[in-house]
């Protein structure tokens, strides 16, 4: 497939709320103007999501407004025991009052301050700083994700309706420092930990389904990461498939996915026809989340496992990947 790479700043939306230049980029070159959104105000979804790995533990953090509700949450998952510790707050009808940043790259701050907790994301040119502090002392998180100027995967995806769109940026981070405490469990980030970011803005159809996988780690002395995804929107202009080696992104086309659709914990193989990407995930844990309220709801299987195989960078060098801890999820949502 021919994929459109956008390399210079362009407006995201036209006067009818449609994407002007569907495609992908290595950094945020799309100018997102919230005033140009033509969909219903309650249809707009905006979030900043982070996921960090501490050995067997996975920390997920999100600040977002998803149409009719705002969510502020930090979830710590033990992928061996299945224990889940969670801080979560929701507020109805945010209607844009969170003032989510219009770009993931420029300095910004999201500060949620309430009598019983404070949660913040602070972005500077050097780092992203994530914090949660609960007044009763049950949760305390303070983490720093260094920014190196690495390539990202940015994709602007249209849907069938002209006023629906999805602008997404995903990044990998190395050298995380700080600490996490949930009750009596304390984890320290000593600089060996990795993180991923999923930054999204869009107006979607009410019902959606997607697959998304991502991970990062040191592989044979190289900083390695990947992002894969399919099933969501019109991907005829570009995929979100890319792997990263020492900060350089290597773009991929469509994936061939071989999996047992009746068993999430059976092996998954992800490959491209040109042989540049061939990884198999051996699942370890299925973090299954399901919520249903009236006709709305979500059903997500996030499968954490070990990825092994080979990738080939643009200059022909092959990199062997062995037991990289990462995930792939299958989501079916109505919201």
Residue 1 reports pLDDT greater than 90:
no
Report residue 272: phi and psi, to 5°.
-115, 155
- pLDDT grade for 208, boundaries at 50, 70 and 90: very high
Half-sphere exposure of residue 240: CA atoms within 13 angstroms, side-chain side = 27
- H or E stretch covering 123: strand 117-123
Contacts of residue 86, defined as CB under 8 A and 6 or more positions apart, other chains included, come to: 73, 74, 75, 76
Residue 332 reports pLDDT greater than 80:
yes
Tens of pLDDT, residue by residue over 305-315, are 999 999 999 99
Tens of pLDDT, residue by residue over 59-112, are 999 999 987 899 999 999 999 999 999 999 999 988 778 889 999 999 999 999
What confidence score (pLDDT) does residue 263 get? 98
What confidence score (pLDDT) does residue 88 get? 97
141 lies in some domain: yes
What confidence score (pLDDT) does residue 130 get? 99
Name the average pLDDT for the chain.
96
What confidence score (pLDDT) does residue 96 get? 75
Report residue 21: phi and psi, to 5°.
-135, 80
Alpha-carbon distances of 12 from 95, 102, 239, rounded to whole Å:
21, 11, 17
Q: Could you tell me the residue range of the domain that residue 80 belongs to?
A: 17-30+42-334
Structure-model confidence comparison of residues 52 and 162, the more confident one: 52
* DSSP annotation of 13: B
Which structure tokens are listed for 110?
A: 């999201």
36 lies in some domain: no
In three-state secondary structure terms, 173 is: strand
182 lies in some domain: yes
Tens of pLDDT, residue by residue over 11-33, are 999 988 999 999 999 999 999 99
4 lies in some domain: no
5 lies in some domain: no
Residue 297 reports pLDDT greater than 90:
no
What confidence score (pLDDT) does residue 217 get? 98
Beta-bridge partner residues of 170: 153, 198
330 lies in some domain: yes
Residue 41 reports pLDDT greater than 80:
no
What confidence score (pLDDT) does residue 291 get? 86
Alpha-carbon distances of 230 from 116, 191, 253, rounded to whole Å:
39, 32, 11
Residue 51 reports pLDDT greater than 90:
yes
**pTM for the full model?**
0.97
Half-sphere exposure of residue 118: CA atoms within 13 angstroms, side-chain side = 10
37 lies in some domain: no
Tens of pLDDT, residue by residue over 112-140, are 999 999 999 999 999 999 999 999 999 99
**Which of 65, 206, 227 is CA-nearest to residue 155?**
227
When divided into structural domains, the chain yields a total of 1
Residue 296 reports pLDDT greater than 90:
no
Residue 225 reports pLDDT greater than 90:
yes
What confidence score (pLDDT) does residue 169 get? 98
**Which of 243, 265, 266 is CA-nearest to residue 255?**
243
**Spatial separation of the C-alpha atoms in residues 52 and 60, rounded to whole Å:** 7
Tens of pLDDT, residue by residue over 238-254, are 999 999 999 999 999 99
- pLDDT grade for 293, boundaries at 50, 70 and 90: confident
């Amino acid at each position: 497939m021919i994929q459109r790479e956008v390399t210079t700043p362009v407006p995201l939306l036209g006067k009818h709320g449609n994407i002007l230049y569907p495609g992908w980029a290595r950094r945020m070159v799309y100018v997102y103007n919230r005033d140009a959104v033509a969909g219903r105000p309650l249809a707009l979804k905006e979030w900043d999501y982070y996921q960090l790995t501490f050995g067997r533990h996975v920390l997920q953090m999100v600040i977002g407004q998803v149409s009719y509700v705002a969510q502020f949450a930090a979830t710590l998952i033990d992928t061996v025991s299945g224990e889940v510790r969670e801080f979560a707050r929701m507020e109805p009808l945010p209607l844009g009052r969170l003032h989510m940043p219009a770009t993931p790259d420029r300095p910004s701050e999201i500060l949620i301050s309430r009598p019983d907790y404070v949660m913040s994301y602070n972005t500077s040119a050097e780092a992203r700083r994530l914090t949660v502090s609960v007044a009763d002392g049950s949760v305390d998180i303070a983490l720093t994700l260094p920014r190196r100027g690495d390539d990202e995967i940015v994709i602007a995806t249209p849907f069938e309706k002209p006023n629906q769109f999805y602008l997404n940026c995903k990044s990998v981070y190395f050298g995380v420092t700080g600490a996490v405490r949930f009750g009596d469990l304390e984890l320290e980030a000593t600089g060996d930990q990795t993180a991923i970011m999923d930054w999204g803005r869009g107006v979607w159809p009410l019902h959606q389904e997607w697959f998304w996988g991502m991970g990062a780690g040191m592989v044979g002395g190289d900083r390695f990461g990947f992002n894969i995804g399919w099933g969501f929107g019109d991907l005829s202009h570009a995929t979100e498939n890319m792997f990263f080696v020492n900060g350089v992104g290597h773009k991929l086309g469509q994936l061939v996915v071989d999996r047992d659709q009746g068993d999430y914990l059976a092996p998954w193989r992800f490959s491209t026809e040109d042989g540049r990407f061939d990884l198999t995930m051996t699942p370890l844990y299925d973090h299954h989340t399901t919520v249903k309220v009236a006709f709305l709801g979500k059903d997500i299987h996030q499968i954490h496992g070990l990825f092994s195989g080979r990738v080939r960078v643009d200059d022909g060098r092959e990199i062997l990947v062995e037991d990289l801890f990462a995930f792939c999820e299958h989501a079916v949502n109505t919201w």
